[in-house]
Structure 1
Amino acid sequence: MNRTTETPDTGRRLSRYRNRSPWRYVVAAVILLAVATYHLVPMIVSTERVTDQLKEDLTAVIGAPVTISGDTHISYWPRPEITISGVSAPQPPGRGPLVYGSIQTLTARFSLLKALTGETAFTDVTLESPTIILEETGESGGPAHSRLSKALTVSAAAGSGFRMTGVSSLSILDGTLGLSGDDDTKVIKGVNGTFSWPQLGGPMTFNGTATLNEQISDISATIDKPLELNRETASPVKLSLKNSLAEMTYEGTATRSAPYLMDGSFSFSTANTHQLGDWIDVPVLVLEDVNRLAIKGTVTRSSGSLRFSPATLSLGGSEGKGVVDLAPASEKQPLKMIATLAFGDITLSNIRSSLPAWIDAVSATPDEFSDEDWKLPALDLRLSASTVKLSDVTLEDVAASVMRSKTQTSFDIADSRLGSGTLFAHIGVQKNMAAEVDISAEKVAAEPFFRQLGFNVPLTSDSLDFDMAVDAELPFSRIAAENTTGDVRFTARGGSLAWLDFATLIEKAGTDNTFLLTYPGDTAFSFTRLKGDATLSGTELDLNDLIIETETDMISLTGSLDTQSGQLDATATITSKVDENATPASVSIIGNPLASLVRRIDPVSDEASDAP
């Protein structure tokens, strides 16, 4: 046998061969395995197989056969993912809650290793342009078929120990959600966000956006025990909703039945009350110019309503503290608010230009809301404030109330100080827009007072007593124009009246049988005391007895005045207070403040008129 002689070169090659790292072979094996997997996995984990598994899972969840009308595509690298278009499911049989609808495109990831073993598990599901119906059937409909309905049945028996795999991550892109129940379906469009419910017995979360009444809203919700919530029991929740109109947060417990919230902390704020009223379909006309409305506090449920106690209510820059009760709207009655609040300083300079306009806003008019569509909330508000600054006046130490039911509205200022005087008011408005108006003021400044009432009275006085009791038809802002009857009494001390040219009247009444009174311009007639009472009937004001006193004379005026045109038909008697022997002069006045013809009722003789 010949033996090969080992040369020095051969020995070195054998030594290098023996010293090679085994990792080279491992890497080579991995590469070969990867190549084999790349080519073999699509054969083992086929599109048809994964699609069938997904259809089977969706059918089990929904409880009705799922159909696919579009294309299917699988991407294995870098992470396995299936994309299906045209997915739909009919309404499943059995009791609810039911979930069904259609999906334009569905994308889901899955585990390749589990798929190779024949158990495909889908995660990170994305629904593009889905239309999803969530339907509540109550106890009707027979045995449960959907996975969610079955979970409710099983969880009721298992109690807190219930466990069933849910959805780890479900993303929705441009979705439409229909909430159906009690013969009513609410549609929510523009749903975008991520839904997570890993264990059906555990917490559920949603973070995203949705279009609510044409407002794109950011929504964040966490329900700790959604199955218990569905079974009419309480569950801890965290809710947050924010859009361009309002922001609302709640953290506490909630139930499925109205008014939903149980015990927790609540906050709500808006910078646009007028648009908010349109958004929630409840008019807020009286606050349409308030730049901020907010309420926050601790909320509890009390006899079917929500009680905020303590509560803080902010109107513009004003803040009130107290108790607020809200009773949700129903088919039989609108939203009802009962509140007792104490404010510091309230500034509502832009709220309304006059008290009548404010009352019109509280009461609304038939042109705005029909008898069949009474959406205004019912109110029982009792308010107090250190000061209330309106457009023209400032009320101090105010105690007021606003009551509104479906048949009537009442507004009362039970007590207030206006300057150095006091103001009391009661306005009761029936549903037919007939109103009872009682206003009483003592020692108030005349100009801002009448301006706040919406009356154009050319009277200036720092000490006016005024009483009015009339029946009127709303709108109250037209109270001086039509459909108003009642009595007015007033007394003013130390002021002026820019109406008729009373100075010329006093001067000529004793000497001229006929003369003309023209508009006095900016010259007001000063008086020491003015007192009178009148009866209002539509635009006709009957002056029963108007007495105007100066230092030297007294004018007594009776007759009628048209408050709209200014037409006057009256009799005046001028009496001297300094000359007891002077004969009072009686004249008739016909015309208006611009031009009035005056005639002596008892003409003076030519000799008397010619006397020096």
Structure 2
Amino acid sequence: MFWLRPRNLLATILLLAFIAGGILVALPSLVSTDLIRERLAQEISNWTGYSVEASQEPHISFFPTFTASMGNVTIRNPWATEGQPFMQAERIEVDLSLLSALMGKTEFTETKIIRPRFVLDEPIKSLADIGEALARSDGRIGDVVREAKAAIVANPAKPDMSTVSSQPFGRVRLEDAMVTFKRPINGAEEQISSISGVFDWPQTSGIASFQGKAIWHGEETEIDSSASKALLLLAGGSSPMQINLSSTPLTLSFNGSANIAKDRFFEGTLSLTSPSLRRTLEWSRMAEIPTAPIGSFTLDASVTGSSSRVKLDNLTATLNDNPAKGVIEITLNNAATGTPLGINGTLAFETLDLRSVFSGIMPLPDGSANSDAEINTAFLKQLNLDLRVSAQKATAGNVSLTKVAATAQVRNGRAIFDIGDATAFDGSVAGSFQLADEPEAGTTGELRLNGTDVNSASIASLLGLGNRFELGKGTVSLVLKGPITRWSTALSSAKGTLSMRFGNGQIRSLDLNRLLSKAKTDRFFSLNEKTDAWLSLDRLELKANIMDGVAALETAQIQNKLGTFTFAGIVTLVSKSLALTGDFAAPIATPAPAEGAPADAPKPEPMFNHTRFFIGGSWDNPFISPIISQ
């Protein structure tokens, strides 16, 4: 074994240091900046198929790594002679192989693009354009893209990629990038800023991935995506793809396949989670959303679609803790053709808050100060909707329903929300509400409610009449129509009709004998005076015409075995005031026919004893005063 003596060791070290120093001194002359600039421009052109320009000489650094940087870099589509360039970057830096440089070659291990500004027509369309540009370009990347295109032409359904060569691509790191693009369909300009991430594609035959983060519409968003057949995707074929997106308004995961050629087709599985669906839609700017709140949302579905249409099959979703299953198809708005956002489908719920669904489509009164705001009807022209909803159990405000079949439709400036069939108030109910924006009439609303075999106590409570009525089952019909700009004033300008008919029952805390006695003797008295008596009745019937928030009684009768109450007058629907006259007609027994009277003798006309009185006050606190008694 050979051992270096200390004197020999020192000499060796000095010799190596001398050689290393000589190499460092010689490096600038050994590595040509012109070669690096040419090689860098050529490599970027090979990546994109676009032409590359740099207005500054490359700057070479040897410590801590061997790098070259080039400032004011512009990349242009060589076939687009007008408009802004595809990319302008403040600086591009590349990590180089020192050994290759000393041998007269230039090999990049990583490329860093600093503060680039990309201008796209739209992301998918521009990515497809890059594929087309690569197919026309020289260099190894252009060669493999053309080979992949030939494989697709030979067998579009299942291209044979075994004949396509593989070339190194590398890693590209973005720092503080910005992308300006036009939205698909409506052409609105969008901007994604503060993009930082890594695009990694070691070999063209392998997986390409991008991991990074960006700011879109004021929210930081993290992105993790990959395409296992990226070359096939660029060449116009389909590739398996994964996309994971995470932000405060939305978490999204897609796992499937995509094609970015003219068909722009994708299919796979989609998962969404949003703490507020309304906030997510506003953030994504898919459509104008009414000011009414809408809650948390989750979705899992099989998805197929294109740049203009998305269909969600085998959908399971949860809206405000209301789980549903169904099918939804979405057509994105198109400014060029004037086509608004379209939503069609069916959803089946176990339990459902109808308000939470419909408030996501149009503004609804909520009892707050917002109820006095003007109703925003912009959605009537920005949305085409045909949504069919069913639920085993549902609520509409404080009303409980079962076996609900409902539809929501918005089209041509008109919205219709219809409950075709449901069980409520121990009977069957149906109802609809229409909101229309008409050129001559302005904004109008129409409400229709019908109940069959419904419980009167529940209806009375809904109408604000308290728990005084315990009648038999009956029918109710309400129709209201009129101009509507604010919920707070809608009732005061409405016109329509109200009718009710109920069978035998009773009215709580109403003593008939005491009422008749007081109506003859007292100046006025309250019907809310405590009493344990009940007024039994056989039938209640009411018909009223409604105009400008006032109900004028056309027919109002209560019948029992002792006589008939008849009412006339008006009831104000907003202030709940009463101005009625009442009449109780008690039949007077007619004497029996005298002995020996002929059998066909005319029967005497029935006689009645009338007690007339006035009813004032309010619905929940009525007062009575006498008019005249006989």
TM-score higher than 0.5: yes
Question: Can you list the C-alpha shifts for 1:282-327, whole angstroms capped at 9, x where unaligned?
Answer: 355598343x212212223599743333221212322222322223
The CA distance in 1 between the partners of 2:3 and 2:145, in whole Å, is 68
Matches within 5 A, 1:59-70: 61=48, 63-69=50-56
The 3-state SS of whatever aligns with 1:113 is helix
The 3-state SS of whatever aligns with 1:87 is strand
Partner residue of 1:236?
A: 240
Q: Is the 8 A contact 2:290 2:362 kept in 1?
A: no
The CA distance in 2 between the partners of 1:533 and 1:544, in whole Å, is 5
Following TM superposition, by how much is the alpha carbon of 1:398 offset from its aligned partner in structure 2, in angstroms? 1.8
> Which amino acid letter does the alignment assign opposite residue 177 of structure 2?
G
- Residue range with higher mean Cα deviation, 33-42 or 582-591: 582-591
Partner residue of 1:255?
A: 259
The CA distance in 1 between the partners of 2:205 and 2:308, in whole Å, is 28
> Which amino acid letter does the alignment assign opposite residue 368 of structure 1?
N
The CA distance in 1 between the partners of 2:457 and 2:288, in whole Å, is 32
Following TM superposition, by how much is the alpha carbon of 1:76 offset from its aligned partner in structure 2, in angstroms? 1.8
Question: Can you list the C-alpha shifts for 1:474-520, whole angstroms capped at 9, x where unaligned?
Answer: 4684576233222111235646589x9999863333356xx345584
Which of 356, 361, 382 is the aligned partner of 1:375? Answer: 382
Q: Is the 8 A contact 1:426 1:439 kept in 2?
A: yes
Question: Can you list the C-alpha shifts for 1:211-238, whole angstroms capped at 9, x where unaligned?
Answer: 2222211112223445654565433221
Q: Is it true that 1:175 corresponds to 2:181 in the alignment? A: no
The CA distance in 2 between the partners of 1:167 and 1:537, in whole Å, is 76
Which of 288, 291, 315 is the aligned partner of 2:293? Answer: 288
The CA distance in 1 between the partners of 2:169 and 2:103, in whole Å, is 22
The 3-state SS of whatever aligns with 1:66 is strand
Matches within 5 A, 1:503-542: 506-511=516-521, 515-516=523-524, 520=528, 527-529=535-537, 530-542=540-552
Partner residue of 1:3?
A: none
The 3-state SS of whatever aligns with 2:65 is coil
Q: 1:447 to 1:478 in 2, by over 3 A?
A: farther
The CA distance in 2 between the partners of 1:351 and 1:501, in whole Å, is 46
Q: Is the 8 A contact 1:444 1:465 kept in 2?
A: yes
The 3-state SS of whatever aligns with 2:283 is helix
> Which amino acid letter does the alignment assign opposite residue 114 of structure 1?
S
Following TM superposition, by how much is the alpha carbon of 1:374 offset from its aligned partner in structure 2, in angstroms? 3.0
Partner residue of 2:418?
A: 412
The 3-state SS of whatever aligns with 2:119 is strand
Partner residue of 2:451?
A: 441
Partner residue of 2:332?
A: 328
Following TM superposition, by how much is the alpha carbon of 1:163 offset from its aligned partner in structure 2, in angstroms? 4.6
Q: 1:320 to 1:565 in 2, by over 3 A?
A: closer
Q: Is the 8 A contact 1:130 1:176 kept in 2?
A: yes
Q: 1:231 to 1:491 in 2, by over 3 A?
A: farther
Following TM superposition, by how much is the alpha carbon of 1:410 offset from its aligned partner in structure 2, in angstroms? 2.0
> Which amino acid letter does the alignment assign opposite residue 484 of structure 1?
A
The 3-state SS of whatever aligns with 1:114 is helix
Question: Can you list the C-alpha shifts for 1:412-438, whole angstroms capped at 9, x where unaligned?
Answer: 222222252222212333343434422
Question: Can you list the C-alpha shifts for 1:257-294, whole angstroms capped at 9, x where unaligned?
Answer: 7995533111112111231131133355598343x212
The CA distance in 2 between the partners of 1:503 and 1:406, in whole Å, is 59
Q: Quick one: percent identity of the two aligned structures?
A: 18
- Residue range with higher mean Cα deviation, 281-290 or 328-337: 281-290
Q: Is it true that 1:109 corresponds to 2:95 in the alignment? A: yes
- Residue range with higher mean Cα deviation, 15-24 or 316-325: 15-24
> Which amino acid letter does the alignment assign opposite residue 539 of structure 1?
G
Q: Is it true that 1:340 corresponds to 2:340 in the alignment? A: no
> Which amino acid letter does the alignment assign opposite residue 383 of structure 1?
V
The CA distance in 1 between the partners of 2:476 and 2:208, in whole Å, is 64
The CA distance in 1 between the partners of 2:278 and 2:168, in whole Å, is 42
Following TM superposition, by how much is the alpha carbon of 1:200 offset from its aligned partner in structure 2, in angstroms? 5.1
Q: Is it true that 1:430 corresponds to 2:433 in the alignment? A: no
Partner residue of 2:68?
A: 82
Which of 576, 584, 589 is the aligned partner of 2:610? Answer: 584
Q: 1:506 to 1:253 in 2, by over 3 A?
A: farther
Q: 1:479 to 1:420 in 2, by over 3 A?
A: farther
> Which amino acid letter does the alignment assign opposite residue 580 of structure 2?
A
The CA distance in 2 between the partners of 1:109 and 1:36, in whole Å, is 22
The CA distance in 1 between the partners of 2:316 and 2:3, in whole Å, is 86
TM-score by length of 2: 0.76
> Which amino acid letter does the alignment assign opposite residue 417 of structure 1?
T
Which of 399, 414, 417 is the aligned partner of 2:405? Answer: 399
Q: 1:122 to 1:504 in 2, by over 3 A?
A: farther
- Residue range with higher mean Cα deviation, 418-427 or 148-157: 148-157
> Which amino acid letter does the alignment assign opposite residue 570 of structure 2?
S
The CA distance in 1 between the partners of 2:307 and 2:70, in whole Å, is 50
Q: Is the 8 A contact 1:421 1:443 kept in 2?
A: yes
Unaligned regions of 5+ residues in structure 1, if any? 1-14
The 3-state SS of whatever aligns with 2:68 is strand
Unaligned regions of 5+ residues in structure 2, if any? 153-160, 368-372, 591-606
Which of 476, 479, 492 is the aligned partner of 1:469? Answer: 479
The CA distance in 2 between the partners of 1:475 and 1:526, in whole Å, is 44
The CA distance in 2 between the partners of 1:314 and 1:414, in whole Å, is 23
Partner residue of 1:218?
A: 222
Q: 1:157 to 1:18 in 2, by over 3 A?
A: closer
TM-score by length of 1: 0.78
Following TM superposition, by how much is the alpha carbon of 1:348 offset from its aligned partner in structure 2, in angstroms? 6.5
- Residue range with higher mean Cα deviation, 313-322 or 148-157: 148-157
- Residue range with higher mean Cα deviation, 87-96 or 387-396: 87-96
The 3-state SS of whatever aligns with 1:583 is strand
Q: Is it true that 1:562 corresponds to 2:572 in the alignment? A: yes
The CA distance in 2 between the partners of 1:412 and 1:195, in whole Å, is 51
The CA distance in 1 between the partners of 2:445 and 2:457, in whole Å, is 25
The CA distance in 2 between the partners of 1:577 and 1:256, in whole Å, is 87
The CA distance in 1 between the partners of 2:431 and 2:280, in whole Å, is 30
